[in-house]
Every structure is written in structure tokens, then in C-alpha cells.
Chains A and B, each alone.
Chain A
């Protein structure tokens, strides 16, 4: 069964303390892997799409990487405004999307 697992479930960082979030998947024939950010009471906000192993994308303090079995979202020198839930989703060959349950990130000033 296609599955997406994110870890850790929750992460607390001091401002400026870099770390990584993990998304592992078992989907065969991956068409794309997506990262979203979700703030409380809001819908997910698109961050990145990755298509093939070895691909990397960056946006401000965030960098997403992809291997054949997992993706990492690296957060460099985070700020309190980076606090949110980060969701990973994969697109299967039938165009269905499977989401992980997210990593709740808290950045403490």
C-alpha cells in the first residue's frame, strides 16, 4: 500500500538552530513529491515540487532534497515565523496524492 511517513511528528528548535525534516515514501512510480507549509486555521501553502532523485530546490531558509526513498526539508537558521506544520505529499502514477501527517515545527526566539 502506498504510504507517506513524516518524522519527527514535532520539532522544537531555538532560533538559528538548523535541522532537517524527513519524508519517506513507498509509492512506486513516483510522479512528484511536494512540500507544503500549513499555519493553524489555514490551508496548506505550496513550497516545492521535486520530480527525480538528486533534485534540490531552495527558497529562503528552506531547501528540499529528494532520494529514491525519501525527501528532506532542511531548515537553515530558522526564525520564529518559520513555525508551522510542514506537510509532504507524493503523487502516484494514477495522479492520486498521498499526504503525510506532517511535522509540527516550533522555533523559539
Chain B
């Protein structure tokens, strides 16, 4: 079965712009989590969605937001981009919230210049 699909794979944006990233979970998985991965900080939890509702949120500013659609696909948005937002953004899907086995996508590499 198809894995987690993230689009686009690469993005280059300018400071101050906004960006939207997309994640399609594994078929049947209803929980989607987002992470930011940087060399210095490792993987940091952004938020988790289940049944179109945000269930958990990490310690990120309000510029980072997300949503989930009825088909479980999820988007995350970052507004007013800063240089420090350059990172690999990973999406993970699982059957249920806090799922014990999460499957990750390949990620979206965002570069802010």
C-alpha cells in the first residue's frame, strides 16, 4: 500500500513569505503529526491532527498552523517566514492519535533565503 506522501519535496522561499506544505497519510490512517527537523535541534513536534481536530501542539509560535481535511489529508502553513524556519518538515501518520507505530513521509525540505 502507498506510504505517506509529502509535497512538494523541496521549496525555496524568501523571508516574509508564507508557505503551505501537504501530507497525504497512509490509507486508513486518521492521525497526522508534523515535525520540524534541523541539524542542531533534531526532530521537534509541531502538532497532531485527528478527525480534523488539532489534538496536540508543540512549542512553536503561532506562525505555524495546520489543518486536516475530512479525507485525513493535512496541510501545514508557515506565515512570515524567517531564516530559522529552514528545515526538513516531516509528516507522520498513524491509525489513531498517539499511535504507537507512526510512518513518516520523505519530508519537505524548506529553504528560506
Instruction: Report whether chain A binds chain B.
Output: yes
Complex Cα distance, B100 from A70, in Å, reads 18
Complex Cα distance, B107 from A43, in Å, reads 6
Could you give, for residues 23-56 of chain B, a 1 whenever the CB lies within 8 Å of some chain A CB and a 0 otherwise?
A: 0000000000101000001111100100000011
Instruction: Identify 13 new A-B residue pairs, CB closer than 8 A, beyond the known A87-B43, A95-B98.
Output: A31-B98, A34-B102, A43-B4, A43-B104, A44-B43, A94-B56, A95-B55, A97-B33, A97-B102, A99-B35, A99-B42, A99-B44, A99-B45
| B101 & A46 in contact (Cβ 8 Å cutoff) | yes
**Helix, strand, loop or mixed for chain B's interface?**
strand
B65 adjacent to chain A (CB < 8 Å): no
Query: What class of interface size applies to chain B in its complex with A?
Result: 20 to 34
Beyond A87-B43, A96-B56, whether A42 also contacts B100 by CB under 8 A is no
Chain B contacts to A: CB under 8 angstroms? 4, 33, 35, 41-45, 48, 55-56, 58, 90, 92, 97-98, 100-107
Chain A contacts to B: CB under 8 angstroms? 31-32, 34, 36, 41-46, 49, 87, 89, 91, 94-102
Beyond A31-B98, A43-B90, A44-B90, whether A96 also contacts B45 by CB under 8 A is yes
Nearest CB in chain B: distance from A88 CB, A? 10
**Cβ contacts A to B, 24 pairs, < 8 Å:** A34-B100, A36-B104, A41-B106, A42-B106, A43-B4, A43-B105, A43-B106, A44-B43, A44-B104, A45-B104, A46-B102, A46-B103, A46-B104, A49-B101, A87-B42, A87-B43, A89-B43, A94-B56, A95-B48, A95-B98, A99-B35, A100-B42, A101-B41, A101-B42
